[in-house]
Amino acid sequence: MEHSSQVRLNVNGESHVLDLDNRTTLLDALREHLHLNGTKKGCDHGQCGACTVMVGGERINSCLSLAVMHHGDEVVTIEGLGEPGNLHPMQAAFIKHDGFQCGYCTPGQICSSVAVLEEIKANIPSHVTSDLTTPVQLTADEVRERMSGNICRCGAYANIIDAISDVGGVRA
């Protein structure tokens, strides 16, 4: 019985071929094999969102997903969004609005925030979308609902909502 596989991942625009144990999570492939330590291991149960990355433009908890499931997929981590001197607008907004304290959850929060704005732009409703016959609006309630899977133990939620709203072009 084969216990490992060769997995090709396109991470932050760069192709990688990895020989991985079939039980390796995407989170562990990113951190331990590709040395991209921005994505954090929080609860390792998919409850905190510290490990949020984008796969094919959608946000996922990388601790709950096996790397072999993403053979050939496009993965974007916090390192792929921007860099010092050339920050992604969401990274800059988190700094501007003080959307972090300890910073541990910040990479997952930012990746999730970028995807939230794309979900709203794509008119994907959430549990609090009140009118399914009109385009989804960027509101504080929409942002809170969509970001509910990302926990900040420092309690910077109000500033995070301000950052997302700023990038989305709305004052919450």
CATH code for position 47: 3.10.20.30
pLDDT digits 0-9 by tens, 96-106: 999 999 999 99
pLDDT digits 0-9 by tens, 46-75: 999 999 999 999 999 999 999 999 999 999
**Is residue 163 over pLDDT 90?**
yes
**Does 112 lie in the same domain as 58?**
no
**Does 77 lie in the same domain as 17?**
yes
**Does 57 lie in the same domain as 101?**
no
CATH code for position 156: 1.10.150.120
Q: Final residue of a domain: which of 81, 107, 130?
A: 81
**Does 158 lie in the same domain as 95?**
yes
Residues with Cβ within 8 Å of residue 158, at least 6 apart in sequence: none
**Does 72 lie in the same domain as 9?**
yes
pLDDT at 131: 86
Q: What percent of the chain has pLDDT over 90?
A: 87
Sign of the dihedral defined by the CA atoms of residues 66, 71, 76, 80, in that order: positive
In angstroms, the CA 59 to CA 51 distance is 10
pLDDT digits 0-9 by tens, 109-148: 999 999 999 999 999 999 998 888 889 999 989 999 999 9
**Does 97 lie in the same domain as 58?**
no
Q: Final residue of a domain: which of 53, 81, 109?
A: 81
**How many domains does the chain fold into?**
2
The candidate with the shortest Cα–Cα distance to 163, out of 122, 82, 125, 106, is: 106
pLDDT class of 171 with cuts at 50, 70, 90:
low
Can you give the residue range of the structural domain that contains 162?
89-168
Q: Final residue of a domain: which of 27, 50, 81?
A: 81
**Does 77 lie in the same domain as 20?**
yes
**Does 101 lie in the same domain as 77?**
no
**Does 63 lie in the same domain as 115?**
no
**Does 157 lie in the same domain as 99?**
yes
**Does 157 lie in the same domain as 139?**
yes
**Does 138 lie in the same domain as 75?**
no
pLDDT class of 7 with cuts at 50, 70, 90:
very high
